[in-house]
Chains A and B, each alone.
Chain A
Amino acid sequence: MESAVWLRDAVCCRGRFPALAGVDLDVAEGEILLLRGPNGAGKTTLLRLLAGLATLDGGRGTVLGCDLGSDRRALRPQVGLLGHDLMLYEDLTVVENLRFFAALAGASDAESRAALERLEVAPRLADVPLRRLSAGQRKRVAAASLAVRRPRLWLLDEPHAGLDESGRGAVNRLVRDAAGRGATVVLASHEAPAAAEVATRTVHLVGGIVAGRSPDSPAAPASSSPAAAPPPIEQVSDA
Chain B
Amino acid sequence: MTHAGYIAAGWSISAALLVSYAVMILLRGRRLSGRVPARRRRWMTTED
Measured CB to CB, the residues of A under 8 A from B are 231-233
**What chain A residues lie within 8 Å of B40 (beta carbons)?**
231-232
Q: Which residue of B lies closest to A231 (CB)?
A: B40
Measured CB to CB, the residues of B under 8 A from A are 40, 42
Q: Which residue of A lies closest to B39 (CB)?
A: A231
Least Cβ–Cβ distance between A156 and chain B, in angstroms: 42
Q: Which residue of A lies closest to B43 (CB)?
A: A232
**What chain B residues lie within 8 Å of A233 (beta carbons)?**
42
Least Cβ–Cβ distance between B43 and chain A, in angstroms: 10
**What chain A residues lie within 8 Å of B42 (beta carbons)?**
232-233
**What chain B residues lie within 8 Å of A231 (beta carbons)?**
40
Least Cβ–Cβ distance between A239 and chain B, in angstroms: 14
Least Cβ–Cβ distance between B44 and chain A, in angstroms: 12
User: CA A233 – CA B43 in complex, angstroms?
Assistant: 10
Q: Which residue of B lies closest to A233 (CB)?
A: B42
Least Cβ–Cβ distance between A237 and chain B, in angstroms: 10
A-B contact pairs, 4 of them (CB 8 A): A231-B40, A232-B40, A232-B42, A233-B42
User: CA A231 – CA B40 in complex, angstroms?
Assistant: 8
Least Cβ–Cβ distance between A16 and chain B, in angstroms: 16
Least Cβ–Cβ distance between B28 and chain A, in angstroms: 19
User: CA A233 – CA B37 in complex, angstroms?
Assistant: 14
Q: Which residue of A lies closest to B41 (CB)?
A: A232
Q: Which residue of B lies closest to A237 (CB)?
A: B42
Least Cβ–Cβ distance between A120 and chain B, in angstroms: 58
User: CA A233 – CA B45 in complex, angstroms?
Assistant: 13
**What chain B residues lie within 8 Å of A232 (beta carbons)?**
40, 42
User: CA A191 – CA B40 in complex, angstroms?
Assistant: 48
Least Cβ–Cβ distance between B42 and chain A, in angstroms: 6
Least Cβ–Cβ distance between A162 and chain B, in angstroms: 46
User: CA A232 – CA B40 in complex, angstroms?
Assistant: 7
User: CA A53 – CA B14 in complex, angstroms?
Assistant: 47
Least Cβ–Cβ distance between A195 and chain B, in angstroms: 46
Q: Which residue of A lies closest to B40 (CB)?
A: A232
User: CA A112 – CA B6 in complex, angstroms?
Assistant: 74
Least Cβ–Cβ distance between B21 and chain A, in angstroms: 25
User: CA A233 – CA B40 in complex, angstroms?
Assistant: 8
User: CA A231 – CA B38 in complex, angstroms?
Assistant: 12
User: CA A209 – CA B40 in complex, angstroms?
Assistant: 29
CB-CB nearest 4 A-B residue pairs: A233-B42, A232-B40, A232-B42, A231-B40
User: CA A52 – CA B40 in complex, angstroms?
Assistant: 32
Least Cβ–Cβ distance between A227 and chain B, in angstroms: 14
